[in-house]
Structures are given as C-alpha cells and as structure tokens.
Structure 1
C-alpha cells in the first residue's frame, strides 16, 4: 500500500523521534489513515520483537486487525473478551491487538490478563485513541509493558480536548507529527465542511448538568426526547438534506427510535437506527444496506463515532450537542472522507480539490441545532477546524457561522468563517491601536519581545499553543531558517516558530514578498501586501534613491508602475 505524502512524513517523523525518545505522539485528524501509518511502522519493527496494539472499543480493534493484515501480510492475534492470543509456540502471531479493558481483566490468582504476556517479547506498543492514556487503566497497562526498557510506545489521537492535551504532555517524550482536519481539507485529502445552523424553538440546555466534562446523558435525553424537539430536529433534516445520504447522531436510544419513526412517517422506509444494544446479526445486515443506499437516514447512538467508515455520507446531523472536542471531531470525521478511488491518483492538492468539487460529494454538510445553551460552551465545527486559532477567533467564527447560516438559510463554509473572524479581529485590533497610539496592544499570545512583530507584519494572529507544546523552544533548524529570513526569534515558542515558517513557505509558493521585503516596504510607507515582483520594483527604486524616502512624485511613479 502506497503512503500519501503526509503519511510518509509522519512515518519518518516517528522513526526520527524513536532514535532519541522511548515514546512519541502522532496527531492525525479522523479519516487521514492513522492505522495505515502505524501498520507500516509495525512492518519496520517486526524484526525487533512482537508488537501490541491496544484500543478501548471492539470496533477499533476490528478495523486495526484488517489494516494490519492488509499492510503486513500477517494475521494478528486478538486478546479481547473471549478471544485469547497465543503466547507460546509456533502458532503465536508477531502482532497482537486487543482492548485496554481485557488487559485489565482478571485471569485468576489476583493477576491481570496483561501478565500472560512477557514485556521483554515486545518492541513496540501502540495506543489508539491515545488521549485516553492518562486514565489509571491505561497507565497500569502501559507501565507494565514499559518494564521492558527497550520498548517504544506510540500514542495516536485525532482532536483531543484541551485537558487531554495537557495530560498527554505529562507522559509523552515528544510529538512525531501533527496534521489536523484543516490541513487535510486545504490539501485536498478531505472534503470541505459547510455548516447550517437551525434554531429550534423551546430547545433549552441551560438546566443540564455537566458530568465528566460533557453534558449529563440523562439530563440531555430528557430534553431531547420531547415530541416537539424531535419534530424540530426531523423536519429541518428532511428539508435541508434532500436526498443526500445522512448520518444522524442521537443522545439516547429513545430519541433515536422516535426520530426514526418520525422520519419514516415522512418518507417510508427511509430511516433505521442502531445503538449499543442492537444485535450483531442485525448490525451486519444494516451496514451493507446503508452503503448500498437501501435507506437514507442512519440514526445512531454512539456506534459510528469510532472505527466505522462510510465515505458516501454527505450530511451529518448533530441531534445531540456536546462539550467534547474529541467527540465532535469523531462525529465530523464520519463524513469528511472523499468518495472512493477519487483522489489517490491526482497530482497535487489543486487536482484533488478539483476532483472533489466535481464529484457527487463536493462537501460535507453539518446540521447544527441551536437553542439556549446557558452556561455551557458547546462544541461546533469551527472548534475542530480552528484548532490552531486562539479562542477569541474561534468564538467569533462560531457566532458568525451560527447567525449567518440561520438567518440566510444557506450553509456557510467553516474555513471561510474562521478566516473572516481572523481578519475582523485583526482589523478591530488595528483600529484600537490607531485610537490609542501611545499604548501598543499586545497580541493574545503575548508575543511582544521583538522590535518588529512578525505576526503583525504578516497580518495574522498567533496560533494557540497546544498542551503538549507548552514551554517547548524552537529547534536549531527553525531558528536558523527564521533568522535567514530576517525574523527575530527572541521570545518565540516552538508553536509560533512553526507558524511563521509555514507563512514564509506559503508566501514563497504564492509568489509574495519576502519577510525582509515586508519590513522594508512598511518602513518606507508602502503597503507590504504585494507580490514579490512588484516588491522588487519598489526595492530597486529605493536603492536607486540611496535608500532615502521617495519624494511624492517618485512614489507616485512607482505606485503607477506596480499598478497600486
């Protein structure tokens, strides 16, 4: 299986980190192939010892088992529930997959099932959904296998909650590679996401308690199971989704059952639902029927959030709110994949985007139902696509997207809303500085040590520092590259150095003025936002004038020459 460019970079990043560290983290958005990457990593580690891959759900283990076998050609053993891996003899596999719960289960005499395995046999431990790894059940298992001092541990995650980021930073040695949902969309590997907000009269979350960081399940079910609320979800879904294949996330079995009933009243045989209690035989019949288009709406309760792929999903309906970034990312990820065999042979991001735009699935539409959220800060698509933005930008984008789409009845592009919010806040900041020129307002990221602020020069807001990068300093290579481009590195963090390097590379690719040019243009009173070729004309004029400020007639002539 051929790796995509970012997958190859991720694999190399893991190898590079393992040369110096015993554990590392891979952050990759849902739908971009984390399991494919680690399957290739497994191939590289087979000659060093056995490999163990652990997750917390059966569906994830099934997906991993299939991908590992396809990539490595080896059939893994399974240690999960009634399935027992062979630990001895010629019949044991070099690869074991299983669940954290089974590893912690008893095997008699006060021993855990993990103790049937000898840690010294294993060279690599893979922890899927690694943002859970701070939990005691995970730490117990990981620390057992880390009795082998040669063991390498790779944690996999998509979009963790902020608290998970901080927790991960406590026990991982490094971050091997990060590639988020926004990058996947920008590079044409995932479809664009549009959001349609729908106000539902009487929908009120304000009395719902918070339990374990998310909305209390029983409280939420009580609100969402009212007949009026059910129709408030179903009617807009039917109207807006049209004939598109639709995946609906519900909060309870009762809500899912009732929504399915209402949808089928409007369109006979169009909806089915699935939940944790649905018999496995029924599920095995349901999945291929949905893939084949035998029914339009699949209503589910916590079943399709992980380990389930259906690229033909065109609409995701959030009939259950959440305060969890990781849960929202998982739900969005069910619909962000492009149609099969569409983009793999395309030459570059532009070709992939063009192929997606011309396909039967040109975007993912997310229906978000809005009510009174009270004190709760509910997660919506801008939170997931805006992972690198500061909170104020994301909050502005959320408000804009909700208001604009609800009032117009037209879905809005989430990335465009984030970019608009960034520009709005930058403009508001500039206006505030102009009103009070004596006191320079600092950016939220507290970057103010350089004489010339590169973020202001590029007219961008600093990225939010993720928990695992807090306190991390720029690498020597980053410092060298930034200094070559004339950027003062004093006070820069690793995150902000990475952001500025991305901007330097992006401007070069787009044929825009270099950073040194930007500083010079601004110093001499020119708008720095111009193409490299036009900036070169200005530089030549300044040089010919011995770097003295141009007289009005000279400047007017230059402006005319560059078409400004």
Structure 2
C-alpha cells in the first residue's frame, strides 16, 4: 500500500481512527468525525440565497458527550505531520478546548495549551495517542477541580435521542456556567444574541445541575406570560411533573422546578408578594430571563425578589446587557461569563443577516405646525406650536402620516413578497389599531381573501393574542402582518419573519437589538423545500 496515494478520508479510516481505538477511546460516544461547527453565513443575492463555506473539524474528541476536550485535523500523506495544526488551532479556539492534534497518518503533532514544562508541541507515534482519562485528568488538575466539582461538571446534558444537540457556542456557555457554579460562583451573566437559543442553553444548565443534585429547587423568572408558557411547553417540557408555574396567590411547595412572571410574585400589597411565602433559602438556583430589563435596576420590585433569595445561585440571561449611569447588569451579576454576539451568530450562519432601509418623512424631519385657529376632526382647537416626532401618534395624530407609512410598507412587500411575515412596531396600542386599519385599506384584495392578513397583536386584544402562535408558526400563512407596540418586542420566536418596521421612537440600542432580533432567526427550509429562495430580513426605520 502506497500511503502517499491515499485520500484524506482513507488516512482517517486506516490510521487515525484505529489509533484512537487502540488508545481506548469509545468511537461511538467519544469520537465525532466531521464535527460541524458553523453553518456558513447566509449570503443573499436579490431573492436568492446561498451559504458561505461552513467550518467542520475532522475530529472532535469528547470526554463525556457534553464535554469536548480535543480537536484533530487530518491531512493526506502528501502533507507534513503538522500541516493541519494551524487549522486545528482555529477550531480549538472556537470550542475552547486545551488539546490539539494534527496528523497525516504517520503519527500526531500534539499541541498542549496547558503544558507546564514549556514543551507546547511535540510529535507522537500512532501508538502513543493519550487516552481520554489522561487528557481529562490533566485538564481537571489545571482548573483545580476536586472530585465533587468534577461530578457536577461531568453530568450529562439532556438528550431525547434525536440529532438535536447543543451547538458549539451553547456547549461552551453551558460548560463554563456549570463549572463556575461548581467552583462556588453565585452571580453569573450569560450574554447571547436573540435567536441563538438562550432558553435551550438555560434548560441544559438547569437539567445538569438538577440531575447531579447540585441544585434541587429552581426558579425561572421572566416578565412576559408568553415567555413562561413557551418555555414550559417547549424547552422545559422534559421536566414534566417536577415543574409548575407559579400563579398569583398560589405557593405550592411540592415541586422542584418553578416558572413565574415577576409580576405574579410581586406587588405593592403584602399579600401579593407570594414569593415571601417561600423561605429565603427555598430556592438554590434562580435563572432570570431578559435580565436587561427591570431586574437590572437597584430599586425595582424584580431586584427585591433576587435580594430576598440572595443565598441562591443566580444566572442572568440577556441578549443586550444594560449599562447606564443608573442601571447596570454587570454591577449585580459581574462581567459576562460568556458572550455570543449578533455578529458572531450572523457570521456563523445561525442567524439571518439583515439590512436597514431608512425612510425619512418630511414631517418627521421638519416638524409640523397648525395654522392659527386650526381644529382637529372633533372640532377642538389645536395648540399653536411646532409638533415633532416626540408628539406624533402620542399627543398628536397625523392620519395622513399613518396612511403614508402603511402605503410604504405595502409597496415594499409588493416589490418582494406580499406574504412575507411582517411586524410593525407602533408607539402605542391606539397607533397599532390605526395602522391595522390603514394596512387593511392598502391591501384590500388580500384582506378580502382572508381577514387575518393583517392583525393587531397587543396585550389588550384577546383575538390578536390568540393569533400569535399562528403568526410565528412557519407552516401557517396567516396572519401575515402584525401591528403591535411592546408585546412582540422580545421573546417571540418568529423564525419566518422577514420584515420589521419601526414606526416608533427607539432611543435605546438595547431595545433596537431586541426588536431586530425578531427578524434574524433563521427558519431552515425542509428537505423538500431546498430549492425555494429566501430573502434576507429587512428593517424599515
């Protein structure tokens, strides 16, 4: 056999995999070949899309199914032993693993990031590859893990037997959080861009701590009812009968996993403060979803809950940490233990790219002043002053402006696809209703076919809220356009949303990123739909 004539895949099959087996690695559970790291950035050309080349490691070695520990990059035998090392180091950096190998079938070049003797790289024969226990003991010793901490850190994540496993950045977030808690850290902040799976990541963290009995009673806090309900029926479903939702004036202490709205456990009247029916040490883990909002403020009712249960380990989850003179996530939770940004998500191909289309309206730019003695449509005299964006759709309504915005949105959809899911963020509920009416008139032909083509989905409207699941469900055509104010700004997993319209003053980068996150989730086409085109998400501001 002439080794020089073998392909890279042959080198893997005939030399590298047998060397791993000989070293005692379990090929079925500890060795993952052609391990996908990224999906490849979505590249849009007009109405067509493709993906950039994705990153894939030849081998990733796992000490346990949830703990990557080493990367191997293979080359064919026409390359030198170390030709794959720089590529492997890049993959190891992404996975944050300490041990890196490259091979051409003759042996291995071993790069040890935690080497104490200065010998970072050395060559190994094929029969000298280290076993899993050796690598893990080196890594555990380097991090100072004792046997009790080691048991927590190595607890398996939840698996339902399907192909769904944590993505590389979720693995890092889960493992870094588990290890920090095992080592005694009490306040942790995880920053992950909208649409990158914060709730799934939180579930895996909670599952592993719960299963290892490191944490026995856990509280998951959110500030939107839809977030709690979606979490219970989706990511947290495996908790089953061990899980309950705290309702107002209900404090059943027989469960282990509790989910609650902040609003359900706080109030100005003492009897509404249901959380005080639990002893301060009842919960040993609290996970705070969207912690950039009320819980960040020192004097908030939400912070009061966290301070009442101060003995519990507390994990803050956010896509956009809030840092101002008066409000700080970092002040309470300390620096993020891990960050996965919107830019990383788009570059890796887990999030859809977006473009901003800015439309400036003359009245928004120059303001509007009524003629002397001018009255509104109800006959009331309009105060004589200059009105600007701060006033529009609040203290002053320019009906033609609403019609103009509705016309521009409809024109945009006609140029792309009139059935692209669209969310229009308005100043308030009244504005959302007027926008619904204007859009109905602009799209009378489609509304005549189905009255749910345009729906107002706001907190006060039961009919609209009842359609929210249909709006975010990829297989449901209607509603197509949703007008809202605040209800859909966070936590709504709208994978097929293509157009976000901001017809309100957004003066917070935190809120802007949260809102555009409704349109950066990527809905992977089914195998039967691979030929369909997909436009990028757009934001009209």
TM-score by length of 1: 0.55
After TM superposition, give the deviation of residue 328 of structure 1 in Å. 1.2
Aligned position for 1:134: 296
Aligned position for 1:275: 458
After TM superposition, give the deviation of residue 316 of structure 1 in Å. 0.8
After TM superposition, give the deviation of residue 34 of structure 1 in Å. 0.6
Whether 2:514 is the aligned partner of 1:333: answer: no
Whether 2:508 is the aligned partner of 1:324: answer: yes
2:499–2:519 Cα contact (<8 Å) kept: yes
Give me the whole-angstrom Cα distance separating, in 1, the residues matched to 2:238 and 2:350: 20
Whether 2:222 is the aligned partner of 1:222: answer: no
After TM superposition, give the deviation of residue 248 of structure 1 in Å. 0.9
Give me the whole-angstrom Cα distance separating, in 1, the residues matched to 2:252 and 2:514: 33
Q: 1:273 to 1:237 in 2, by over 3 A?
A: same
2:265–2:272 Cα contact (<8 Å) kept: no
Q: 1:261 to 1:42 in 2, by over 3 A?
A: same
For the aligned residue pairs, the C-alpha RMSD in angstroms reads 2.9
1:50–1:94 Cα contact (<8 Å) kept: yes
Give me the whole-angstrom Cα distance separating, in 1, the residues matched to 2:408 and 2:431: 16
1:30–1:158 Cα contact (<8 Å) kept: yes
2:191–2:338 Cα contact (<8 Å) kept: yes
After TM superposition, give the deviation of residue 101 of structure 1 in Å. 2.3
Cα deviations by residue, 1:26-45 (Å, 9 ceiling, x for unpaired): 00111111110110111112
Aligned position for 1:54: 221
Q: Which has the higher helix share?
A: 1
**Counterpart pick for 2:341 among 180, 183, 186:** 180
Give me the whole-angstrom Cα distance separating, in 2, the residues matched to 1:10 and 1:44: 13
1:52–1:122 Cα contact (<8 Å) kept: yes
Matches within 5 A, 1:398-547: none
Aligned position for 2:252: 86
2:472–2:496 Cα contact (<8 Å) kept: no
**Counterpart pick for 1:264 among 440, 460, 463:** 440
Give me the whole-angstrom Cα distance separating, in 1, the residues matched to 2:260 and 2:325: 23
Give me the whole-angstrom Cα distance separating, in 2, the residues matched to 1:141 and 1:297: 38
Whether 2:201 is the aligned partner of 1:28: answer: no
Give me the whole-angstrom Cα distance separating, in 1, the residues matched to 2:263 and 2:316: 17
After TM superposition, give the deviation of residue 310 of structure 1 in Å. 1.8
Q: 1:73 to 1:25 in 2, by over 3 A?
A: same
**Counterpart pick for 1:14 among 173, 177, 193:** 177
1:45–1:123 Cα contact (<8 Å) kept: no
Give me the whole-angstrom Cα distance separating, in 2, the residues matched to 1:2 and 1:139: 34
Aligned position for 1:483: none
| 1:221 counterpart SS class | coil
Give me the whole-angstrom Cα distance separating, in 2, the residues matched to 1:289 and 1:130: 26
Give me the whole-angstrom Cα distance separating, in 2, the residues matched to 1:165 and 1:23: 20
1:246–1:297 Cα contact (<8 Å) kept: yes
| Stretches of structure 2 lacking an aligned partner (at least 5 in a row) | 1-163, 369-387, 448-452
Aligned position for 1:5: 168
Give me the whole-angstrom Cα distance separating, in 2, the residues matched to 1:256 and 1:5: 40
Give me the whole-angstrom Cα distance separating, in 2, the residues matched to 1:165 and 1:38: 28
Cα deviations by residue, 1:177-200 (Å, 9 ceiling, x for unpaired): 101111100110000111111121
After TM superposition, give the deviation of residue 134 of structure 1 in Å. 2.8
Matches within 5 A, 1:130-169: 130-132=291-293, 133-135=295-297, 136=299, 137-146=301-310, 148=311, 151-163=312-324, 167-169=328-330
Matches within 5 A, 1:540-559: none
| 2:194 counterpart SS class | coil
1:103–1:112 Cα contact (<8 Å) kept: yes
Q: 1:8 to 1:305 in 2, by over 3 A?
A: same
Give me the whole-angstrom Cα distance separating, in 1, the residues matched to 2:433 and 2:464: 15
Give me the whole-angstrom Cα distance separating, in 2, the residues matched to 1:12 and 1:165: 32
| 1:259 counterpart SS class | helix
Cα deviations by residue, 1:270-299 (Å, 9 ceiling, x for unpaired): 3221212102x5522454267422343111
Aligned position for 1:366: 539
Cα deviations by residue, 1:483-510 (Å, 9 ceiling, x for unpaired): xxxxxxxxxxxxxxxxxxxxxxxxxxxx
Give me the whole-angstrom Cα distance separating, in 2, the residues matched to 1:363 and 1:164: 36
Cα deviations by residue, 1:404-457 (Å, 9 ceiling, x for unpaired): xxxxxxxxxxxxxxxxxxxxxxxxxxxxxxxxxxxxxxxxxxxxxxxxxxxxxx
Give me the whole-angstrom Cα distance separating, in 1, the residues matched to 2:389 and 2:244: 36
| 1:139 counterpart SS class | helix
1:50–1:121 Cα contact (<8 Å) kept: yes
Whether 2:332 is the aligned partner of 1:171: answer: yes
Q: What number of residue pairs does the alignment pair up?
A: 338
| 1:175 counterpart SS class | coil
Whether 2:482 is the aligned partner of 1:303: answer: no
Give me the whole-angstrom Cα distance separating, in 1, the residues matched to 2:268 and 2:430: 34
Give me the whole-angstrom Cα distance separating, in 2, the residues matched to 1:111 and 1:58: 17
Q: 1:245 to 1:224 in 2, by over 3 A?
A: farther
Aligned position for 1:99: 261
Aligned position for 1:202: 363
2:251–2:274 Cα contact (<8 Å) kept: no
After TM superposition, give the deviation of residue 218 of structure 1 in Å. 8.0
Give me the whole-angstrom Cα distance separating, in 1, the residues matched to 2:198 and 2:174: 10
Give me the whole-angstrom Cα distance separating, in 2, the residues matched to 1:325 and 1:335: 16
Give me the whole-angstrom Cα distance separating, in 2, the residues matched to 1:305 and 1:164: 24
**Counterpart pick for 1:38 among 202, 212, 233:** 202
Q: 1:138 to 1:178 in 2, by over 3 A?
A: same
After TM superposition, give the deviation of residue 219 of structure 1 in Å. 3.4
| Stretches of structure 1 lacking an aligned partner (at least 5 in a row) | 208-215, 344-354, 369-564
Q: Which moved more, 1:159-168 or 1:297-306?
A: 159-168
2:288–2:317 Cα contact (<8 Å) kept: yes
After TM superposition, give the deviation of residue 201 of structure 1 in Å. 1.7
Give me the whole-angstrom Cα distance separating, in 2, the residues matched to 1:314 and 1:122: 41
1:338–1:361 Cα contact (<8 Å) kept: no
After TM superposition, give the deviation of residue 175 of structure 1 in Å. 1.8
